Structure 1
C-alpha cells in the first residue's frame, strides 16, 4: 500500500525504480505489501473464528491492524474476499501438513505424523510463534462464487487425507469406509483446537501419543466385540404444562432451525431464513422466541437433553461399560441422520454472545464428563483398556459432531449404517 501510493504521488521516482538493476526498491515495496497482507489475514482470521463470516467487518479488521477501512480494501475489496482468503490460507497450511504426512510409509505412520504436525503448529500458535489457525465452520456462509472455490479446495484436501488409507493392508476398506475415516480423522484434528486449550503446551507430546493410540487401537480391552444395544428414542417428548400439539410444533421448529444453523452457521442463518424454512412469518417466529439467540439457546438445550437421555439410558443397561459406551455412541451417531436429527454442532457456540456462550459450553462439558465417566468405569471393570478417559471423551464428542455432516462425504448413507461406518472406527480403531 505504501509503495503504490508513493508511486502515484511521484511518477518520476516510480520510473526510477523500474530502472534499478538489482530491483531492491521494488523488492522492498513488494515485501512490505506481502507483510501487511499477512498481518491483515492473521487479524481477520482471529475475528472470523470468533464472529463468523457475517459478524466480521472490514472496519474491525482495519482497527486491529492500525489501518483505516479504505486501506484494507486495497488488499481485499470486499469482506467476503477477505474471508475467502482466510479460508484458503488455512487450507494451504493443512495441505502442507497433509503432504508431509503422506510421505510416510504406512497408514499408521501417516496418521501419527499428521497429528504430530498439527499439534506442533497449534503449539506455535499458542506461543505466539505462528498466526492463528483457521476454523472452517462457516465456509458455507460465503457467497458464490467464492464459496464454490473454497469448497473445491476443501474437497481436494479431503481427497489427499483419504489417500492416507490407500494401502494394500487396507484392501478390506471400500471407498465409503475410507471416506468416512478421512472425515473422522480431519474432524478429530479440527475439533481438537477447541479442547487443546485445556492443556499446557508442554503436555502436547502426551496428547499426541494418546490420540494416536486411540485412533489406531480403539478402546476395548481384550477381544470384546462391537455389539451396541438399541436404546429408547431420546427425543424430548414432554414439556411441563404444554399441550401435545405445542410439543410437536416446538420439536418441528427446533429441528428445522438446527439443520439450517448447521448448514449456514449461527450468523449465516437469519430469522428470515429460519421462518422461510418453516413456512411461517417473522411475526410467528417472534411469537415463540424473543430473538435468534433465544432460539439457538433452545436448540443447544435440546441437543444436551438428547445426549443426556441417551447416555443415561445406556448406563441403565445390564451390561459392562464398553457395551454401554458403544450403545450410546452408536445411538447418537444414528440419531444424527434420523428424522429428528441432526444435533446442533458445537461450532455454533463460537459466534454466540458471551452471556450465552458460557452456559452452552457448560452444557457440552457435562456431556463430555459423562462420556469420560463411562470410560473410567470401563477401565475399572476391565471392559475398556487403560487409555486417557478425558482425551477419549473429547474424541467421541468430536465424532458425534462430525456425524452431523457425514452424509455429505458418504452420499446415500442410511441411518442404520452410520454407527457401523463412523462410530465403530473411532471406538475400535480406524485401520480395522
Structure 2
C-alpha cells in the first residue's frame, strides 16, 4: 500500500493467520462426524446438534468452524469429490480404458474397505446432493463427472459420440455409488473380490458372447386394475416421490408436498393419515411397478436375457418418461431407521428375483457365467440411476434411452469404443 494511502487514513488489513494443526484436526473430526449423519439421514435430516453430540461438543462448537448446516454439508461433499478426483486421476494412468475402469473400481472398493475396518473415514454419498443446491458443490461434481468420463476414452483413438459417452459415464459412476448399498452383504476382506465381479459385469456385460441383442417387448406397467388407485392419490404419490428423489425423506415435508400440489395441509391430511403412510405408499407403488415389469416380461417367454432386457428397458423408460416416477432406491438412506429394515428386505427380494432370472439365462446360454448376486444389484442400480439421466445425458429420449443406456449395461460399457 502506498504512503499516500496511509496518510489518507487507510488501515492495513491484518493478514489472516494460517489455520493451526489443532484447528484442522477439529475441523476434520467435525466433517467425519457430519458424514456419518449425512449418510444416515440426508441433508435435511442432519442436525448440527447430532453432529456435535458425536464429538461431545455443544452445537456452538461446530458453528465456530461452520456457520450453518449447509456450509458443513458442502464441506462433506467437496471432500468426497476431492477423493473421487484423486481415484480417477490415479486410474487415468492406465494404458487403456478397460484397465482404467478396473483400476478406478479397485481403488474405490479399497477406499470402502479401509473405511469399513476403521482405517479411514467414510466419505459422503451423493444420494440427495441436489437438495443442497450449492454452486461450489455443483461445479465440483460436474468437474468430477468430466474427469470420470475421460476414463472411457482410448488414448489416441476416437471418442464415443457425446450422448453415449455421457450416458455411460453416468452409468459407471452410478454403479460405484450404488455399490455402497450392496457391499453390506460382503465381508470387508472380500471387497476386492466384489470389485472384480462388478468390473467384469460393467466391462463384459451380462449377455453371453455372440448372443443376438433381443428386442425389448413392450410391457404394460399401469395399475388400472389396482382398486387402491385414484386420481387424487396418484397426485400425492407423484409429488412425494419427486420430492423424496430430489431431497430425501426429510425434504419431502407435508408443507412442501402440499405446496407442490397447491393444496392446504388440511387437504393433505384429508387424503393421507400421516406423512409416513404416504412415504410407505410411494415405496409400495415402486415395488408394485417393478414386480409387474418382471412378471410381465416372464409371461412373454423367451430366454433369461430377453426377460431381463424387457423388464429393465420397461422400467428405465418408465422412470425416464416421468409420468409416474419410481422412488429411487437410494431414498432408503434417508427414511426413518424404524422403516428401513422392512424396506431393505423388500428391495432384497426384488434383487433375488433378478438373480433368479440371471440364473435362468446362464442355464439357457443367453447370459454368460457371472456373479448373479452382484449382477442383480447392478441391474437395480442401473434402473435406479435412470432417474438422473436427464441431467447428464441431455438428448436422450424414451426412444433411444434403451440403445444408449440399457444396452451398454448388458453388452459392456466399452462396446463400439
* 4+ residue runs over 6 A deviation: none
* Long gaps (5+) in structure 1: 1-25
1:108 has 2:98 as partner: yes
C-alpha contact 1:140 1:265 (8 A) present in aligned 2: no
Residue 331 of structure 1, CA deviation: 1.1
Structure 1, residues 197-248: CA drift from partner, whole Å, max 9, x if none? 11012212221111111111111123112223323321222333x5xxx623
Structure 1: distance between partners of 2:193 and 2:44: 37
C-alpha contact 2:85 2:144 (8 A) present in aligned 1: yes
Matched with 2:45 is 55
Structure 2: distance between partners of 1:203 and 1:104: 24
More deviation in 60-69 or 150-159?
60-69
5 Å-filtered alignment, 1:12-411, equals 30-142=20-132, 147-167=134-154, 171=158, 173-240=160-227, 247-411=230-394
Structure 1, residues 235-277: CA drift from partner, whole Å, max 9, x if none? 222333x5xxx62332233123212221222212222221122
Structure 2: distance between partners of 1:239 and 1:214: 36
Residue 283 of structure 1, CA deviation: 1.1
Structure 2: distance between partners of 1:253 and 1:72: 37
Structure 2: distance between partners of 1:322 and 1:170: 31
The residue matched to 1:236 in structure 2 has which SS? coil
Residue 37 of structure 1, CA deviation: 0.9
Matched with 2:4 is none
Structure 2: distance between partners of 1:203 and 1:284: 51
Structure 2: distance between partners of 1:81 and 1:396: 35
Structure having greater relative contact order (Cα 8 Å, sep ≥ 6): 2
Structure 1, residues 85-115: CA drift from partner, whole Å, max 9, x if none? 1111111111110111112121111100100
Matched with 1:422 is 405
* Long gaps (5+) in structure 2: 1-16
More deviation in 122-131 or 221-230?
221-230
Structure 1, residues 147-177: CA drift from partner, whole Å, max 9, x if none? 1211111011000011112226863720010
The residue matched to 1:194 in structure 2 has which SS? helix
Structure 1, residues 17-47: CA drift from partner, whole Å, max 9, x if none? xxxxxxxxx99x8111111111111001000
Report which of the two has the higher share of helix. 1
Structure 1, residues 345-369: CA drift from partner, whole Å, max 9, x if none? 1121112122211221122111111
Structure 1, residues 55-108: CA drift from partner, whole Å, max 9, x if none? 111111111112111111111111111111111111111111011111212111
Structure 2: distance between partners of 1:258 and 1:158: 26
Structure 1, residues 175-198: CA drift from partner, whole Å, max 9, x if none? 010000100000110110111011
Q: CA RMSD in A?
A: 1.8
